[in-house]
Structure 1
Amino acid sequence: MRLEFIERVTDGDVLGKSILSGDGNVLLRAGARLTNGYIEKLKSLGVFYVYIDDERLEDICKRDRVYEELKQNSMKNLGIIVKNINNGNKKKAKEAIKAVENLIDYIIEQESVRDNLQDIKTYDDYTYYHSLDTGIIATFLGLNMELGKNELKELAVGATLHDIGKIKINESIIKKNGKLTEEEYQEIIKHPIYGAEVIKNYYGENEPIVKAILEHHERVDGRGYPYGRKGNEISKFGKLVAISDVYNAVSNDRIYRKKFAPNEAYELILAGSGSCFDSDIVRQFRRTFAVYPMGSCVKLSNGVEGYVIRQNTDFPDRPVIRILYDSRTRKPINFYEVDLLKSLSLTVVSVS
């Protein structure tokens, strides 16, 4: 499969992965042949890129139907979690949280899922994507840090529910398109406290899950909130969720700003090492995630465009690229590959 901007999708292309809405409903199923009508409808819905089947890239971004179904089910259950935590129904909330734990179990057990390290959100709907993707990013980081299974599940639940405190804040503040007043800002920065208060009724006051929620906006230099904790005053889970939250947040559009380019989001995390983020965890982040997602089209410094087919460990900005088209005419060619770790004179200049 290849990852294409919707503007470059053509009539007759076959959808490689289903497109989900922010609450887990299927907008268009994998395998659908895209007509011009479908393409225009997807544009109007805010879809900005899609996975397209391509036999020349069939060895990458392979579909994992079990993973897709578990992720979809988790997204649907996030709405149930929020509703029942808000209503104080502990039993139903914990039953819904089990859907997230099932997804994490699968990620832990299936090595192949790790090919989906950056399983890109294609639909511009922030509803539950950010929460779940933050949990998944934290899980991959935790796997690389060799956390045990129980720790990974606690980390994933804490990361997925990191913003649950926002249910206690007026929606007009949450969705405000413009600068917050000082009073509104002071209310917003209480959401980790509100979240910890809600969740400690489910998991106990000092549990790692609660600390992850309470501390996900703390920074190692003490300039975070709500308490300005620093260094080792912040729990391991708090530090892990902080990185996962920021990386996912800046990679997506928000009401008040456009998303960062993949390399900009990545570099933001690296630049925060030792100030915003724990430097040891940033090193693990660098080993876990790559700058350019698998299947994405990038433009090289020589003007040639190609698709990322493999990552080079410890060199996240120098992947292996497969060239499928003449970059000027977009006509297919006998494809060939360029390993940027060997072709040191070439660099990636943009995501096409």
Structure 2
Amino acid sequence: MKLEIINRLEGNEVLGKNIFTNDGRVLLRAGTVLNNSYINKMRELGIFYVYVEDERLEDVEVEDENVSRLKQTTMECMSRMMKNITAVSDKKIMSDYQKIVDELIDYIATSADINKSLYDIQTNNNKTYVHSIDVCVMATFIGHAMKMDSYSVKELGLAAVMHDIGKAQLPKSLLEKEGNLTKEELNEFKEHPYIGANILKKNVRIPGTVVRAVLQHHERMDGKGYPYGLEGKSISKYARIITISDVYDTIANSGDYKKTFSPNDAYELILAGSGTIFDEEIVKVFRKSFSVYPLGCCVKLSNDVEGYVVRQNENFPDRPVIRVIYDTETRNDIEPYEIDLVESINLVVKSVV
């Protein structure tokens, strides 16, 4: 399977992963043949990349079916909760929701492969939910890598999946606005951590550590974040982890950033912000836990050859194994061959294609 930028689709490709609505229902099912009508509709929905089948890359597994099932169930619950925000204060409803989130977190922490757990397809309608769930997945991996106990990992995961709950009470026009926000709009947007924390406070069963993480997830290590301008270790550990996960997923999947899929830019931004925006020690864990280029992603190397990521090399997050399946100049198919960037030290990835 391969990850393909929407503008590279020509028609007749077979969709490799389901695309979901904002309430967890299947919008477009894996196995669907993508004609021009489907492709144009996906563009209208704000989709920038999809997974499609390719027999030359059939051994590349990009999805853990258990993770996908658990994410879908979590998305269904999130949709119900965001549409009826008063449900958060209901102990029974919130308890049932926490059990579903805990099941996802338990599986991520004990059995999941990070390389098969991220990069669900985001649309204009589902991106808030998909983003929150992927932030939860990333934060859980980081927390587990930091040797947190299982109770703390569950608290972290719950805070991560709820980190943007305050946006449910912001105007839809503000959240969907294209382009830069005015100063007044930006100030209104910056209220969402405070709003989210107040929503969660209404349920006495939600730990204060979770509420604090939601409140602080836009704080920065250098004190230039919001809403309170906290610095360093005065920001909760959960919030410091969520901040990294939030920024990475936002930049990697944001059409507003470069109108393309940009996991390498997101990765470099995290590393560049170490010690100023982000906690330096957590960035080190992030760097060891996540690869720069996802499986199935097409990249261009420094010799201008293009190929697809088929395997990751442990401890070398930016040097995967690339499979070349076509001639870069003519775009004609060739006999596939692989380049291991750990062994080919004279080559580097130049860009995502």
TM-score (norm 2): 0.90
Equivalent AA in structure 2 for residue 109 of structure 1: T
Q: Equivalent residue for 2:31?
A: 31
1:100 aligns with 2:93: no
Matched-pair contact (CA < 8 Å) for 2:136–2:158: yes
**Kept in 1: contact 2:222–2:231 (CA 8 A):** yes
**Structure 1: unaligned runs, 5 residues or longer:** none
Give the letter for the 1:149 counterpart: S
CA distance in structure 2 between the partners assigned to 1:348 and 1:51 by the alignment:
21
Question: Compared with structure 1, are the counterparts of its residues 80 and 96 closer, same or farther at alpha carbon in structure 2 (3 Å cutoff)?
Answer: farther
Q: Please say if residues 141 and 288 of structure 1, whose CA atoms lie closer than 8 Å, have aligned partners that are also in contact.
A: yes
Q: CA RMSD in A?
A: 2.4
Distance (whole Å) between structure 2 residues aligned to residue 35 and residue 172 of structure 1: 32
CA contact (8 A) 1:301 1:347 kept: yes
| 2:271 maps to 1:267 | no
Conserved in 1, the CA contact under 8 Å of 2:313 and 2:321? yes
Whole-Å separation in 1 of the counterparts to 2:190 and 2:45:
31
CA displacement, residues 114-139 of structure 1 (integer Å, 9 cap, x when unaligned)? 33243343545423122111111111
Paired residue secondary structure (1:327): coil
Rounded Cα–Cα distance in structure 1 between residues aligned with 2:270 and 2:51: 26
Match of residue 234 from structure 1: 235
Say which SS state the counterpart of residue 203 (structure 2) adopts. helix
Contact 2:90 2:203 in 1 (8 A): no
Q: Which structure has the higher relative contact order (CA within 8 Å, separation 6+)?
A: 2
Deviation at 1:338, TM superposition (A): 0.6
Moved more, 121-130 or 77-86: 121-130
2:128 is matched with: 127
**1:50 paired residue number:** 50
- More displaced, 16-25 or 84-93? 84-93
Cα deviation per residue 1:21-46 (whole Å; 9 max; x = unaligned)? 33322121112233344334333433
SS at match of 1:202: coil
The whole-number CA distance in structure 2 between the counterparts of 1:176 and 1:13 is 32
1:168 and 2:169 are equivalent in the alignment: yes
Any residues of structure 2 matched to 1:75-94 within 5 Å, and which?
A: 75-86=75-86, 88-94=89-95
Give the deviation of 1:3 after TM superposition.
Answer: 0.9
Per the alignment, residue 345 of structure 1 pairs with 346
Report what 1:140 is aligned to.
Answer: 141
Between stretches 130-139 and 236-245, larger displacement belongs to 130-139
**83-92 or 72-81: which moved more?**
83-92
**SS where residue 166 of structure 1 aligns?**
helix
**Equivalent in the alignment of 1:285:** 286
Whether 2:188 is the aligned partner of 1:187: answer yes
Q: Deviations over 1:124-157 (max 9, x none)?
A: 5423122111111111211222222222221111
Distance 1:106 1:181, change over 3 A: same
Distance 1:203 1:275 in 2: 34
> Alignment partner of 1:127: what SS?
helix
Instruction: Give per-residue Cα distances to partners, 1:173-223, cap 9 Å, x unaligned.
Output: 444445545444333323222211221232568632112101101111111
Contact kept in structure 2, 1:251 and 1:260, CA below 8 Å: yes
Structure-1 residue corresponding to 2:245: 244
TM-score of the superposition, structure 1-length normalised?
A: 0.90
User: Identity over the aligned pairs, expressed in percent?
Assistant: 48
Conservation of the 8 A alpha-carbon contact between 1:71 and 1:103: yes
Further displaced range: 296-305 or 47-56: 47-56
187-196 or 169-178, which deviates more: 169-178
In structure 2, what is the equivalent of residue 20 of structure 1?
A: 20
CA contact (8 A) 1:77 1:97 kept: no
1:91/1:298 CA distance change after superposition, 3 Å: same
Q: Which moved more, 1:284-293 or 1:122-131?
A: 122-131
What is the distance in 1 between the residues matched to 2:34 and 2:333? 20
C-alpha separation in 1, matches of 2:32 and 2:189: 42
| Counterpart residue number, 1:303 | 304
- Distance change >3 Å, CA 255–CA 59, structure 1 → 2: closer
Following the alignment from structure 1 to structure 2, what is the Cα–Cα distance between the partners of residues 65 and 260? 23
Q: Contact 2:312–2:321 at 8 Å: present in 1 too?
A: yes
What is the distance in 1 between the residues matched to 2:63 and 2:340?
Answer: 25
Question: Which residue identity is paired with 2:217?
Answer: H
Report the Cα offset of residue 239 of structure 1.
0.4
Measure how far apart 1:282 and its partner are: 0.4
Q: Does 2:72 match 1:65?
A: no
Residue 324 of structure 1: aligned partner: 325
Distance change (3 Å), C-alpha of 1:58 and 1:145: farther
Deviation at 1:348, TM superposition (A): 1.4
Q: Which amino acid aligns with 1:73?
A: T
For residues 7 and 170 of structure 1, the distance between their equivalents in structure 2, rounded to whole angstroms, comes to 31
Measured at CA, do residues 50 and 172 of structure 1 come closer, stay the same or move farther in structure 2, by a change above 3 Å? closer
Corresponding letter in the other structure for 1:308: V
> How far apart in 2 are the matches of 1:86 and 1:306?
49
